[in-house]
């Protein structure tokens, strides 16, 4: 987070029931070197669906467990299958950021033990999906957007209706829980704004308790 003062004055907006948006809450100059250190140990890679299709965006993880997808399915595992080593540890600054954002949305204590790191380039997208591989759905998910902007799509319990669309910029943080925990959501990067330092790259951190 930027500093204590930001915490006190942070404008938290409930943009959909149980979906909270904190604009410009995370400090990318602090987070990016930590992400770089993680990706040196566990580089971004394209995973495959159980059906054999390559996912549209590349990913890596830090924390006790990391989310993976392969022929055996979607799940959390304690070692990086590329290196057979444990995932890099979750930096303390990540944990504090996620906990403070969750607390502002009345989720405490939130003790994330998994952080999925998604990497987008212009034109890449995450198709509408639900996150349901986490055993305890009373725990929220906290997401941090860095770099290039993206259009975030919030559906409801089904993906047939037209989504609510929110443009997410560098530093924006969202918290999802309770009635929003199983909603469908997706990300589009077409016509997004490049970032002064990251250019046409977007990185998203999602903090989870698994
Ligand atoms: C709503 N990532 O990694 S984060 C994902 O920008 C994912 O990379 C997106 O969706 C991204 O699964 C969006 C926001 C998010 C994450 C998890 C959710 C929204 C969620 C789980 C339940 C409901
Ligand atoms: Fe998701």
Q: What is the pLDDT of residues 24-76, one digit of tens each?
A: 999 999 999 999 999 999 999 999 999 999 999 999 999 999 999 999 999 99
For the ranges 3-12, 35-44, 125-134, 148-157, which has the lowest average pLDDT?
Answer: 3-12
Does residue 2 have a pLDDT over 70? no
Q: What is the dotted CATH code of the domain comprising 13-208?
A: 2.60.120.590
Ligand 1 lined by 119 (C-beta under 6 Å): no
In angstroms, what is the span from residue 5 Cα to ligand 2's centroid?
30
Ligand 1 lined by 141 (C-beta under 6 Å): yes
Ligand 1 lined by 38 (C-beta under 6 Å): no
In the chain, where the domains are located: 13-208
**151-174: b (≥16 Cβ within 10 Å) or e:** bbbbbbeebeeebeebebbbbbbb
Ligand 1 lined by 148 (C-beta under 6 Å): no
Does this model's pTM top 0.85? My answer is yes
In angstroms, what is the span from residue 56 Cα to ligand 2's centroid?
13
* pLDDT band, residue 11 (cuts 50/70/90): confident
In angstroms, what is the span from residue 75 Cα to ligand 1's centroid?
15
Does residue 165 have a pLDDT over 70? yes
* pLDDT band, residue 190 (cuts 50/70/90): very high
Give pLDDT tens digits for 100-142: 999 999 998 999 999 999 999 999 999 999 999 998 999 999 9
**In 94-189, at which residue ranges do the beta strands (DSSP E only) sit?**
114-121, 126-129, 141-147, 150-154, 164-168, 173-176, 185-188
């Amino acid at each position: 987070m930027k500093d204590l003062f930001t915490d006190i004055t942070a404008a938290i907006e409930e943009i959909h029931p149980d979906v909270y948006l904190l604009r410009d809450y995370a400090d990318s100059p602090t987070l990016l070197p930590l992400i770089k250190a993680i990706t040196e140990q566990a580089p971004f890679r394209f995973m495959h669906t159980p059906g054999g299709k390559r996912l549209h965006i590349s990913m890596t993880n830090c924390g006790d467990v990391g989310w993976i997808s392969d022929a055996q399915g979607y799940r959390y595992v304690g070692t990086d299958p590329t290196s057979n080593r444990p995932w890099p540890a979750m930096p303390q600054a990540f944990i504090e950021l996620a906990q403070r954002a969750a607390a502002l949305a009345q989720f405490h204590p939130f003790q994330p033990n998994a952080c999925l790191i998604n990497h987008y380039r212009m034109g890449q997208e995450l198709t509408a999906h639900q996150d349901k591989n986490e055993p305890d759905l009373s725990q929220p998910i906290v997401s941090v957007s860095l770099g290039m902007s993206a259009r975030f799509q919030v559906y409801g319990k089904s993906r047939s209706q037209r989504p609510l669309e929110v443009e997410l910029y560098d530093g924006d943080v969202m918290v999802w829980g309770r009635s929003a925990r199983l909603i469908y959501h997706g990300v589009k990067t077409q016509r997004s704004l490049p970032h002064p330092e990251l250019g046409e790259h977007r990185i998203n951190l999602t903090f989870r308790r698994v």
